[in-house]
């Protein structure tokens, strides 16, 4: 219960964290089934929590990786990523503006900006638009 009170956890995460403490086989699965039946474990809430906390700074592909690492259903991940794609350009521009704020002055600066945005999980075409369109700001 302590883990669930701190943040939303997926069933997969709880199982991984609590497996070493299971005393009898099947006890953990039974407890997780009970928590899921009482809606203490909810995959959709986990998706929403991750998206709300990470979308400001990260692109859709990086958030997708985090959701996959939590063992969430593929359909829920695909829906969340699809929703994030519609705002990816605006989010990438905001991240770029906070970090750099001015267009690259030379090729080295351009490469640095591109590498930064790609490492944050933004799509290459979005990165290209943000860095090359930096003069628009």
Indicate the pTM of the whole model.
Answer: 0.83
Percent of the chain with pLDDT over 70: 96
Q: Give CA–CA dist 67/73, Å, rounded.
A: 9
In this predicted structure, the answer to whether residue 114 has a pLDDT above a threshold of 90 is: yes
- According to CATH, the topology of domain 88-136 is Arc Repressor Mutant, subunit A (1.10.10)
Q: How far is CA 24 from CA 10, 17, 20, 27, in A?
A: 22, 16, 11, 6
Maximum CA extent, the chain: 63
Q: Give CA–CA dist 115/109, Å, rounded.
A: 10
- How much is the pLDDT for 134? 53
Closest CA to 45 of 5, 2, 69, 9: 9
Q: Give CA–CA dist 102/98, Å, rounded.
A: 10
Domain ranges of the chain: 2-85, 88-136
């Amino acid at each position: 219960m302590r883990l669930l009170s701190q943040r939303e956890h997926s069933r997969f995460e709880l199982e991984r964290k609590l497996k070493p403490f299971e005393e009898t086989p099947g006890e953990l699965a039974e407890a997780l089934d009970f928590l899921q039946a009482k809606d203490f474990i909810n995959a959709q809430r986990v998706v929403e929590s991750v998206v709300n906390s990470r979308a400001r700074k990260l692109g859709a592909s990086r958030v997708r990786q985090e959701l996959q690492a939590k063992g969430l259903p593929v359909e829920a991940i695909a829906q969340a990523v699809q929703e994030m794609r519609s705002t990816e350009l605006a989010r990438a521009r905001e991240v770029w503006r906070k970090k750099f704020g001015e267009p690259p002055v030379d090729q080295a600066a351009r490469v640095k900006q591109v590498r930064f945005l790609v490492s944050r999980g933004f799509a290459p075409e979005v990165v290209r638009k943000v860095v090359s369109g930096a003069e628009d700001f």
